[in-house]
């Protein structure tokens, strides 16, 4: 790329090489923030952040500077040379690979889940796990639990080794995601560099996959791989990838019906059956090898223990609850009602998206799959930024509308500021105003949608 100035949507020219190395500086600043106020293994640094301890506040300020700089540089990246872009993303990841996790303590929970599976309990790193999740059953499927156990087995009681190995798993998921985003985009006639920039080489992936080491990175990689293989009409391979994704995290199952649409043809429904059969096998093998069966599903009930406005249905229930308090009624019932309503709406949305995708070109089917994954994340009872990795990747590989890309890019940047470096969520700190703002946004959006669907005014 040399020193040729490049222009982003904001039309601010800057040499490409300067952008690359400024991004490296940004992730290095994030790494410093991680050492000061990140998810360190000694204990829950979110408490120090909430209490306003000087080190935690300084680390949060450093993290904020790095996050803003990274977002600004990423927005300006040129999206014409795929190899240059991928190299840039790799360089950005290096400082984060040698720093403590950012934005979440989930990796310590993974380590304890793996330890408990291997030894039946007594995890020595329990102090690093947020108190609310201590003793909670793992909400991940057989492949997720076995992956955690495989990372913990050679650690010999050293938490840093376990975290390092879990980070390598997440990094493998990010690499799988990147490769298949490019493959899927090319298959669908979407610009590969543009798709990689929006779906893989993002601040969200850097912080929550590379640094945070979330299992969602592996889920996203397997899901996109499954869709890409289905688009190339390899039903068995696609089913195996999708089934493994479900075996890590059950929400991945919403993409499976769309993968079936990609391989079936009139009179050739056997391909769809082959894909589903391979997915069942990919789920069943880890379940049988690990002896886990379906008992892990009980852990899903604990994921909604935190009530925060990042989930729109939960935000609406919180807003109603705050309104009831004005009349002396203190109840959690509104949140339960709106969460159940959100799941009911989600079911309708998923069926509608699949029904409309039937018989459509492959790009539109994949676009519908991305919308289904996004709806699953947004309409669920709880939402965290890393839940968006898979939906954004699928949408990046299938959308050709520049306005949609811009909206997705803005969402990607916004999600990067939803969680502080210690793992303390901004929604937890801003419950009342956040719930009211999200509720107002939902009401506004629904009102606009209803009006747009109404009859045209008479001439």
For the stretch 118-141, pLDDT in tens is 998 889 998 888 887 777 777 788
Alpha carbons within 13 A on the beta-carbon side of 320: 15
Q: At what angle do helices 362-378 and 215-231 cross, to 10 degrees?
A: 160
Return all residues near 124 (Cβ < 8 A) that are at least 6 apart: 115, 157, 159
For residue 5, give the 3-state DSSP assignment: strand
Average of pLDDT values for 154-173? 94
Tell me how crowded residue 168 is: count the other CB atoms within 10 A of its CB: 13
pLDDT at 212: 95
The answer, yes or no, to whether residue 5 has pLDDT greater than 70, is: no
Nearest Cα residue to 138 out of 245, 294, 281:
294
Q: What is the DSSP letter of 301?
A: G
- Condensed to tens digits (0 to 9), the pLDDT of residues 345-401 reads 999 999 999 999 998 999 999 999 999 999 999 999 999 999 999 999 999 999 999
Instruction: Report pTM.
Output: 0.92
Q: From the CB of residue 324, how many other CB atoms can be counted at a distance below 10 Å? A: 14
Could you tell me the end-to-end alpha-carbon distance of the chain, in angstroms, rounded to an integer?
A: 55
Would the pLDDT of 315 be above 70?
yes
Calculate the dihedral angle through the C-alpha atoms of 329, 331, 333, 334, rounding to the nearest 10 degrees: 60
Name the nearest CA neighbour of 343 among 381, 369, 391. 381
CA atoms in the 13 A half-sphere facing the CB of 207: 38
Q: What is the 3-state secondary structure (H, E, C) of 309-337?
A: CCCHHHHHHHHHHHHHHCCCCCCCHHHHH
What is the structure's pLDDT at 252? 95
| Mean per-residue pLDDT of the chain | 90
Distance (Å, rounded) from C-alpha 148 to C-alpha 386? 18
Q: Looking at residue 201, what DSSP letter applies?
A: S
Instruction: Give me the pLDDT at residue 301, please.
Output: 58
């Amino acid at each position: 790329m040399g020193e040729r100035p490049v222009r982003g949507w904001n039309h601010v020219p800057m040499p490409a090489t300067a952008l690359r190395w400024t991004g490296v500086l940004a992730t290095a600043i994030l790494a410093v923030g991680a050492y000061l106020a990140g998810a360190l293994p000694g204990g829950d640094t979110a408490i120090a952040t909430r209490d306003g301890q000087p080190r935690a506040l300084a680390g949060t300020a450093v993290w904020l500077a790095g996050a803003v700089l990274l977002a600004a540089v990423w927005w300006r990246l040129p999206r014409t040379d795929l190899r240059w872009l991928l190299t840039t993303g790799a360089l950005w990841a290096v400082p984060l690979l040698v720093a403590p996790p950012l934005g979440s303590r989930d990796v310590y929970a993974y380590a304890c889940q793996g330890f408990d599976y291997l030894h039946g309990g007594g995890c020595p790193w329990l102090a690093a796990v947020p108190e609310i999740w201590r003793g909670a059953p793992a909400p991940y499927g057989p492949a997720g639990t076995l992956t955690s156990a495989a990372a913990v087995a050679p650690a010999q009681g050293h938490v840093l080794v376990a975290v390092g190995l879990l980070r390598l798993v997440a990094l493998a998921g990010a690499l799988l995601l990147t490769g298949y985003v490019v493959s899927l985009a090319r298959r669908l006639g979407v610009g590969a560099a543009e798709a990689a920039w929006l779906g893989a080489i993002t601040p969200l992936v850097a912080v929550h996959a590379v640094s945070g080491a979330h299992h969602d990175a592996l889920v996203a990689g397997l899901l996109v791989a499954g869709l890409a293989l289905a688009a190339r009409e390899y039903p068995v391979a696609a089913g195996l990838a999708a089934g493994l994704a479900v075996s890590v995290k059950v929400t991945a199952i919403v993409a499976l019906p769309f993968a079936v649409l990609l391989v079936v043809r009139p009179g050739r429904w056997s391909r769809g059956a082959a894909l589903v059969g391979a997915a069942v096998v990919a789920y069943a093998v880890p379940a049988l090898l690990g002896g886990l069966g379906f008992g892990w599903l009980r852990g899903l009930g604990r994921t909604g223990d935190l009530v925060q406005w990042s989930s729109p249905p939960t935000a609406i229930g919180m807003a109603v609850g705050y309104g009831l308090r004005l009349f002396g009624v203190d109840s959690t019932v509104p949140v339960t009602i709106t969460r159940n309503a959100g799941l009911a709406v989600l079911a309708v949305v998923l069926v509608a998206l699949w029904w409309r995708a039937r018989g459509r070109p492959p790009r539109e089917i994949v676009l519908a799959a991305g919308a289904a994954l996004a709806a699953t994340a947004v309409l669920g009872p709880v939402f965290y930024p890393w839940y968006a990795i898979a939906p954004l990747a699928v949408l990046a590989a299938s959308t050709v509308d520049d306005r949609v890309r811009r909206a997705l890019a803005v969402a990607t940047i916004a999600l990067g500021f939803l969680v502080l470096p210690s793992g303390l969520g901004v929604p937890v700190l801003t419950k009342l105003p956040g719930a009211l703002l999200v509720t107002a946004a939902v009401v506004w959006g629904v009102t606009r949608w209803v009006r747009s669907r109404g009859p045209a005014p008479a001439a």
